Amino acid sequence: MPLFDRTAELIVGQSGKEGILIKDLRMSFKIEKTATETLNTSTVKIWNLNASSRALVETPNNALILKAGYVQDIGALTIFVGIVRRSLSVQEGPDWITELELDDGLIAYRDSKCSLSFNPGTRGTDVIVAIANQFGLPVRPFPEDVAEKQYADGFSFVGRTRDAMRKACNYLDLEFSIQNSEIQILKKGGSIKRTAIVLSADTGMIGVPKLEAKTMGEKAAAKKGITTNTAGVIKRPAKTSNASGEAHERLQIQGYKVDCLLQPTIQPGSVVQLKSSGIDGEFFRVEKVEHIADSHGKDWKSTLTLRFI
């Protein structure tokens, strides 16, 4: 894959209406995405917008689509979709720099409410799909092989859609997040069923993967779909005990942090195959991805936090 001749552009405007395309200007951005319910965020800087474009871009609650990539590959691909939460334009010497802070799915996540009721015997998956549709955002394909359960006493909810979604997902051991203004539902700790992205020195990996480990209690880990049978997990007895004098079991969860040239298509839940010294084609789930880039500067990379599958 030819990773040369970087390119970046963005479209901004009111949600549901045609926006304006901004390109051929200097842009920089920092994006943080996780597989959790917490909204993904981005900070974008644009140099020397004209006055009318600057006024439009600065409007709060406008929608923005950021694209980036490589001219010699397939061009700019969508890397972040979000809502403008804050904007600021300042003049530095001859340059006007507009800085935007964005949240992915901000309005839907913050403002959506629902009132739903389902009869006894309703399938859990039907409840989740109905709730997901209340956000008013596209819903990605449902994961396969979900353990089907029914609500013996039915299901009813009045309140914020995100709270209903969390409750229904927990019932089926699922997790949800908003990715590029689409609702993504996965098994807890599961991955997107797509072809794995191969990362090696030949496909843009920078340096070598760094082994990382974090420690969690068994119950906290289980909420994320992690058990003692999960690859890369080591059981460690804790020094602390509960009220009955029993030692709390702790799990050491191993993974890697990897730098690579900017990869717009990688997102939380993606599957990555690593090929590096000591790692011969093992597969990992992307827990977190950070993109840092400047179209006219040194930065143009992605940093991935990976966990064994």
Split into its structural domains, the chain has a count of 3
Token digits of residue 10: 């963005």
260 Cβ partners below 8 Å, 6+ apart? 199, 203, 204, 205, 206, 301, 302, 304
Structural domain ending residue among the three candidates 73, 104, 135: 104
Check whether residue 12 and residue 95 sit in a common domain.
yes
For residues 201 and 304, membership in a common domain is answered with: yes
Model pLDDT, residue 247? 59
Same domain, 171 and 202: no
* pLDDT given at position 226: 78
Residue-wise pLDDT tens digits, 208-242: 999 988 887 877 777 777 777 777 777 776 655 55
Residue 283's pLDDT is what?
95
Note whether 303 and 201 are same-domain residues: yes
Supply the pLDDT for residue 259.
97
pLDDT of residue 14: 82
Residue 187 falls within a domain, yes or no?
no
pLDDT value for 243 = 58
**Tokens (6 digits) for 181:** 């203004």
281 domain residue, yes or no: yes
User: Positive or negative, the Cα torsion across 110, 112, 113, 116?
Assistant: negative
Phi/psi region, residue 152 (left: phi>0; alpha: psi -120 to 50; beta: rest), is alpha
> Domain range spanning residue 166?
108-179
pLDDT at 239: 57
Mean pLDDT by 10 residues, the chain (309 residues): 78 85 96 96 96 85 94 91 94 95 96 97 96 96 87 97 97 96 94 91 94 82 74 67 62 89 95 92 95 95 95
Residue 189 lies in a domain: no
One-character DSSP codes across 275-309: EETTEEEEEEEEEEEEEEEETTSS-EEEEEEEEE-
Tokens 């990382």 identify what position?
A: 212
Give the CATH number, domain containing residue 98: 2.30.300.10
The structure tokens 């334009």 sit at 89
Does residue 23 form part of some domain?
Answer: yes
What's the number of CA atoms in the CB half-sphere (13 Å) around residue 117?
A: 0
CATH number at residue 207: 2.40.30
Q: How far apart are CA 63 and CA 85, in angstroms?
A: 10
Give pLDDT, residue 115.
97
292 and 241 within one domain: yes
Residue 301 region by backbone torsions, left for phi larger than 0, else alpha for psi between -120 and 50, else beta:
beta
Do 165 and 257 share a domain, yes or no? no
**How many Cβ atoms are within 10 Å of 298's Cβ, its own excluded?**
8
Q: Is residue 34 part of a domain?
A: yes
pLDDT reported for residue 50? 92
Whether residues 118 and 77 fall in one domain: no
| pLDDT for the residue numbered 244 | 59
